Copies of this chain bind each other. A is one copy, B any other.
Amino acid sequence: MVPMATGVQRTQQTQRTERRADALSKERIVDAAIEILDADGESALTFRALAARLATGAGAIYHHVANKNDLLSTAVNEVVAEVVAEAAGGDAEPREAIRAAALGLFDAIDAHPWVGTQLSQDPWQPAIPRILEVLGGPLLTLDVSRCACFDTASALMSYVLGAAGQNAANARVHPHVTDRAAFLGEIAARWTHLDPAEYPFIHQVAAVELPVHDDRAQFLAGVDLILAGIDALQ
């Protein structure tokens, strides 16, 4: 439909997703998928929507990507690789390196909720060793006994993926909460209706901390809790 100037703009580096480029490739497909996921969320990524954006047929995508899970885990791996590249490399103090890596992952998943969903849905996808490395690597320079390193790194990863997954789910179910105070107030009210005898802790939390808590600060408090445990168990 759209006339193409074939080969004319070869030297131009910028990518225009509006017009059909010369050839399909896994990279172009994955990048288009990421754009759809970031712009309109997980439910918007269908092979039909992706094919439309790439100005091709749905079946063509299968020549470069095995299936939807392959597409998603490749996209996740791309985002995680970027975060890890920023977090790693520096020769910061080990605890600080772990904090930075955990926070980088949290922020990335906050910005791309679909990453959190996918990470908690396939434990052996390519992004996992990256995450384990950036969280566990700094432990090698600590005095953690060799045998506890895997357990410790795995605990850090479970915590990060758990917190990030909850955050991602929240973003998915409540896409645009403008009034956070009102939203948390509703949850608190619901929790207050539970039996106080059965839920004493929930009642205290709903009354005091839940309505005013900050997700990022709470995440960081959890990281510090685990770091304190690492120090204590040495």
What chain B residues lie within 8 Å of A194 (beta carbons)? 129
**Contact between chains at A221 and B155 (CB < 8 Å):** yes
Q: Report Cα–Cα, A210/B169, bound state, in Å.
A: 30
Q: Is A21 an interface residue (CB 8 A)?
A: no
* Alpha-carbon separation in the docked complex, A230 to B227 (Å): 10
In the bound complex, CA of A166 to CA of B156 (Å) = 13
Copies of this subunit: 2
**A203 → chain B closest CB, angstroms:** 9
Closest-CB distance, A61 to chain B (whole angstroms) = 22
Q: Is the interface of A mostly helix, strand, loop or mixed?
A: helix
Pair B218/A228 contact, Cβ less than 8 Å: no
Identify the closest chain B residue to A209 (Cβ): B150
* Bound Cα distance A150, B201 (Å): 9
**Chain A residues at the B interface, C-beta cutoff of 8 Å:** 117, 120-124, 129, 132-133, 136-137, 139-140, 146-155, 157-163, 165-167, 169-170, 172-173, 187, 191, 194, 198-202, 204-205, 208-210, 213, 218-219, 221-222, 224-233
Given A120-B166, A133-B202, A229-B230; 16 other pairs, CB 8 A cutoff = A122-B169, A123-B173, A129-B194, A133-B198, A136-B202, A136-B205, A140-B200, A140-B204, A149-B205, A150-B205, A150-B218, A152-B221, A155-B221, A157-B162, A158-B162, A161-B162
